[in-house]
Structure 1
Amino acid sequence: MKPKILLVYTGGTIGMRRHPETGSLAPLNFDRLLDRVGELRQLDCDIHHVSVAAPKDSSEIEAADWIEIRDLILTNETDYDGFVVLHGSDTMSYSASALSFLLLGLNKPVVFTGSQLPIGDLRTDAKENLITSVQIASLRSTSNEPILREVGLYFEYKLYRANRSIKLSAEHFEAFSSPNMQPLITAGVHLEYDTRNFIQTRAIPGIRSLANIPASVYLLKLHPNMSEWAFRLVEQADGIKTVVLETFGAGNAMKSKQLVQMLQYCQENEIAVINCTQCAKGSVSMGMYEASSGFKKFGVLDGGDMTTEATLAKALVLGALDLEVEIFKKMLIS
């Protein structure tokens, strides 16, 4: 029996076509997708499609959209063998990371992809990204089980673990990377992969039924000559459960009275603070330098080599669950 793959369209360049006279972009009629990408018929799978209620530019994506994507996939979980999510590239790593947590325990392939150019353009990257994403989602073992059982992000010949990906370029076709982890699959003449690098996940109670993800995270990027108000905002905002602190190098920060006051406030009010490096490659190592040695006394969590996108998405999803503070903090860095 052929694998059944569901395309989930959320918006973005990949689902657009350029008007031949005006050059303006308009949404593509997905009923004609096979006409525009006839190569999909050569794949040994049945392809169907569904769209979110209101496709949008990915810069407009919010947590409510993550829940809608999750629900579309879970509603069709038993009817399909794999899923390909078509998404704008600007916030794809955020969404893919969020879905990797919202779909824990699904153990079916979910591949996010998009493009830098519309699918109808002469030099588009959309066709290859779409075709190979569907092929990856269709991969089956000799026992007819899915080979990939996690959420990935495919772009320009490489499949990355979703929550290890970052957007690297606004112009090049090789728009994404995973600086601290090798790609799960590399597409050449053949799809090259080692199944030992793939993972299976277990569901967290309540995560599949989350109906709302509040804005509970404050992302603070340190930089020279910071204003005092940037540190005080956390005290003025309601509902903050996590501060994602983007630090220098291996997790370092300037000597700042305002930063210390913010950390004291967070500790006293059971707000988790997690230290993430601004560097694309490498990891936090608190205490390696004097500039980070003071963090531990305030209970700041070591974010290791997690990307900012994954850290923020994970903190938002976990923050929506009714977890005890210490359990929440432990899960945030696990």
Structure 2
Amino acid sequence: MEYKKVYINPISPEPPRASVLVIYTGGTLGMMYETKGRQLVPFDFEQVIDKVPEIRRLDFEITFLTLSEPLDSSNMKPQIWIEIAGIISNHYAQYDSFVILHGTDTMAYTASALSFLLENLNKPVILTGAQLPIGVARSDARENFITALEIAAATDEAGQPVISEVCIYFNSVLLRGNRARKQESSDFNAFHSQNYPTLATAGVRIEYNLPYIKPYEPDKELQLHTSLNANVTFLKLFPGICRKVVSSILHIEGLKGVVLETFGAGNASTDYWFLEELRMAIDRGIILYNVSQCEGGRVTQGQYQTSKYLKQIGVVSGSDITAEAAITKMMYVFGTDLGSQHHRDLLASPLRGEMSI
């Protein structure tokens, strides 16, 4: 796979304090308006200094790497997640940190997937993007990009990275990547994390919420995972859902697992036919993963009678995991060459801080 690289050296005469690899996957941030047709087209990162001259004033070395085929994030696929994780792994010893420029629509999925693929990560991987193209006067791209770079290069008094996990930085807040969700399509504060605190807030200074940031663990070696099994799907419940719909989803050929999006604290219909369809699916070896449709709170199977039966038939509780993290976690878990019970145990346990115990 061929990638285009652009190097930016700081103007400071002092040696750079950090090196950052910026991976451009596509998305709004890297777009600009074509002069003639006024259509959005990707801009060449060789011209990045023209668009964001402030970069030269940062006291670290930056390398831009563009995927051979930048794509709209709506076209993101598991094989691209594996490719991005591979790029990070291959350059892990060469760079201090990584920033990924990504479209906003599926950024939370990518952040979640990368958190599972990059086990024992001890360097910052910061995803960011923009709601408006970098070529637009009111664009949020510059602030998001520059601050993401600053966070990626941040170290503590011992010279260790402040951040050593996959995160999303957007509109002045840093969020754990597998806890974030896109909730706004027309406002700049696009991403929120209802079930986990903000990791940092960027104002005049960048204030880090250290108790909630994954600790730096230098003794652990990065382990790259390169297998994802996409034979999974969502089943979102709603009043009036019929047996034909439920049955058709649960009988998809080759299906391994289903993220069951339930009501409230993990509640679902107690109709006999519904529970029977779930039970038969579990008997066929399909794993059902209970995730709440609510933005906040958590699944507590058995708290109400309407969730007690789910627990009894063997539905796995997803606690307070997001739907994005749940589906990518399933792909990761089913990509491991382990047995069904081990898969269930992994789904029920926090692996990368994506859920509470």
Runs of 4+ in 1 over 6 A off after TM superposition: 201-207
Which residue of 53, 57, 80 corresponds with 2:72? 57
**SS of 1:34's equivalent?**
helix
Aligned residue pairs, count: 333
Query: Does residue 263 of structure 2 align to residue 217 of structure 1?
Result: no
The amino acid across from 1:146 in the alignment is P
TM-score where L is the length of structure 2: 0.89
Name the structure 1 match of 2:57. Answer: 42
Separation in 1, partners of 2:147, 2:327: 29
Q: Is the 8 A contact 1:231 1:258 kept in 2?
A: no
Residue 235 of structure 1 and its aligned partner are, at CA, apart by 4.3
Give the deviation of 1:325 after TM superposition: 1.4
The alignment partner of 2:119 has SS state of: coil
Residue in structure 2 matching 1:32, options 38, 47, 63: 47
The answer to whether the 8 A contact 1:235-1:265 is kept is no
Matched, 1:309 2:324: yes
Alignment partner of 2:272 out of 239, 245, 257: 257
Are 1:96 and 1:151, in contact at CA under 8 Å, matched by a contact in 2?
Answer: yes
Measure how far apart 1:233 and its partner are. 2.6
Deviations 1:146-190 (CA, angstroms, capped at 9, x unpaired): 111000001000000000000010000000000111110100010
- With 91-100 and 261-270 compared, the bigger mean Cα shift is at 261-270
Are 1:17 and 1:28, in contact at CA under 8 Å, matched by a contact in 2? yes
Residue identity opposite 1:88 in structure 2: G
2:134 — aligned with what? Answer: 119
| CA positional deviation for 1:278 | 0.3
Give the 5 Å matches for 1:43-122: 43-122=58-137
- Percent of paired sites with the same residue: 39
Q: Which residue matches 2:284? A: 269
Q: After superposition, what is the alpha-carbon deviation per residue over 1:255-300, rounded to whole angstroms, capped at 9, x for unaligned?
A: 3334212221232122211110001111111112121111111111
Cα drift, residue 200 of structure 1: 4.4
Structure 2 residue identity aligned to 1:43: L
TM-score (norm: length of structure 1):
0.95
SS of the residue aligned with 1:134? helix
**Structure 2: runs of 5+ lacking an equivalent:** 1-15, 350-357
**Do structure 1's residue 135 and structure 2's residue 150 form an aligned pair?**
yes
1:157 is aligned to 172
1:148 equivalent to 2:157? Answer no
- Sort the Cα spacing of 1:229 and 1:286 in 2 relative to 1 into closer, same or farther, 3 A: same
1:199 aligned residue (205, 210, 214): 214
SS of equivalent to 1:294: helix
C-alpha distance in 2 between matches for 1:326 and 1:5:
40
CA offsets 1:70-100 (integer angstroms, 9 cap, x no match): 1111111111000000000001000111001
| Cα separation, partners in 2 of 1:158 and 1:206, compared to 1, 3 Å | closer
Structural RMSD (CA): 1.9
Secondary structure at the aligned position of 2:174 is classed as strand
Give the aligned residue type for 1:53. Answer: S
- Which of 232, 239, 242 lines up with 1:227 in the alignment? 242
SS in structure 1 at match of 2:234: strand
One-letter amino acid matched to 2:29: I
User: Which residues of 2 match residues 2-13 of structure 1 at below 5 A?
Assistant: 2-13=17-28
Matched residues in 2 for 1:88 and 1:156: separation? 14
Would the aligned equivalents of 1:277 and 1:283 in 2 still touch at CA under 8 Å?
yes
In 1, Cα distance between equivalents of 2:137 and 2:338: 51
Distance (whole Å) between structure 1 residues aligned to residue 212 and residue 87 of structure 2: 27
Change (3 A) 1:105 1:200: farther
Please say which of residues 296-305 and 224-233 is displaced more in the overlay.
224-233
Any idea what SS the aligned residue of 2:126 has? strand
The CA distance in 1 between the partners of 2:284 and 2:243, in whole Å, is: 20
For 1:154, give the aligned amino acid. Answer: Y
Rounded to whole Å, the distance in 2 between the matches of 1:109 and 1:279 is: 30
Is the 2:100–2:127 contact (alpha carbons within 8 Å) kept by the matching residues of 1?
yes
Q: Is the 8 A contact 1:116 1:171 kept in 2?
A: yes
Tell me how far apart the structure 2 counterparts of residues 206 and 299 of structure 1 sit (CA, whole Å): 34
* Other-structure match for 1:208: 224
**Letter matched to residue 91 of structure 1:** T
Q: How many angstroms does 1:209 deviate by?
A: 4.2
Q: C-alpha deviations, 1:228-251, integer Å up to 9, x for none?
A: 232213443233221110001111
SS of match in other structure, 2:229: coil
SS in 1 for 2:265: coil
In structure 2, relative to structure 1, the CA distance for the partners of 1:219 and 1:206 (3 Å cut) is: farther
CA distance in 2 between counterparts of 1:84 and 1:241 reads 33
* Equivalent in 265, 282, 287 of residue 302 of structure 2: 287
Distance 1:46 1:312 in 2: 36
| SS at structure 2 position matched to 1:295 | helix
> SS where residue 253 of structure 2 aligns?
coil
Change (3 A) 1:93 1:318: same
User: Does the 8 Å CA contact 1:207/1:321 hold for their aligned counterparts?
Assistant: no
